[in-house]
Structure 1
Amino acid sequence: MSQALWTKQGETLSHKNACKEFSLEEHEIFEAMRAGKLQYKENYAHGNPYYRLLRREVIDLAIELHGENFFKKQELEHKMKEVTNGINSCKRKLKKFEKEKELLIKKLDHFDK
């Protein structure tokens, strides 16, 4: 087990995020952990335990369980969700700025009178 992978950003993920990102069931991850297919480290967030997993091993497990095409489709769908969330975030920020702009225009108009 290379310690470098555990500290490198983006190389690990929690078992909860692995379920969401790769459409895996928790029991599939736990079975793979017990079988030695997944290396893990137990961490705690606000007193609640979770398992950190190596992303590469989770990808290999997803391909093994569901096939290459399913994995690629899930990867694209996950990326699509991220992009959609980013777009929606930008739209919310734009609305906020437009409201602020309207207020500033009204204040400027008040000075002209």
Structure 2
Amino acid sequence: MAEYGEWNRKGATLSDKTVIKDYGVDREFIVKGIRAGKLEFQERSVWGNPYFVILRRQLKQYIAEELGDNHLSGIIKQKKIHTLKKEINETKHKLQGLELELAALEKKE
């Protein structure tokens, strides 16, 4: 069962589309968990397009039970690696821009 206010807490819920993208499972896996009573959900829609909202805590527990802790930790690790690489590339790009700006300023002197 969901804790009091868990549905309203920031970061506590995920849409089915986000689950599929971030955790590498398919929609059938989610529906199977809902039917088994392992996942609570709310049905919502945007511009007439329906989607499920699932509690992150229950999803992680369900993935660990069904696919194993290794699958879940591997996915979390890959997501962290992707985030770090993206941040490194953004920082490199920003540094190059700053170096060009500095060179232009030094040239004017």
Corresponding residue for 2:15? Answer: 14
The TM-score normalised by the length of structure 2 is: 0.79
| 2:5 partner SS | helix
The TM-score normalised by the length of structure 1 is: 0.77
Shift of 1:101: 3.0
What do residues 7-59 of structure 1 show as CA deviations (whole Å, max 9, x unaligned)? 11221112122222222112101221233221112233455332221111110
Asked if 1:36 corresponds to 2:37, the answer is yes
Structure with bigger gyration radius: 1
Write the distance in 2 (CA, Å) between the matches of 1:13 and 1:41: 10
Write the distance in 1 (CA, Å) between the matches of 2:50 and 2:102: 46
Q: Which runs of 5 or more structure 1 residues have no equivalent in the other structure? A: none
Corresponding residue for 2:54? Answer: 53
Moved over 6 A (4+): none
Write the distance in 2 (CA, Å) between the matches of 1:93 and 1:46: 37
In the alignment, residue 49 of structure 1 is paired with which amino acid? Answer: P
Write the distance in 2 (CA, Å) between the matches of 1:49 and 1:97: 45
In the alignment, residue 31 of structure 2 is paired with which amino acid? Answer: F
What do residues 38-84 of structure 1 show as CA deviations (whole Å, max 9, x unaligned)? 11122334553322211111101111221112222222112111111
**Cα RMSD, aligned residues only:** 2.1
Q: Which runs of 5 or more structure 2 residues have no equivalent in the other structure? A: none
Higher helix share: 1
Write the distance in 1 (CA, Å) between the matches of 2:50 and 2:103: 48
Corresponding residue for 1:99? Answer: 100
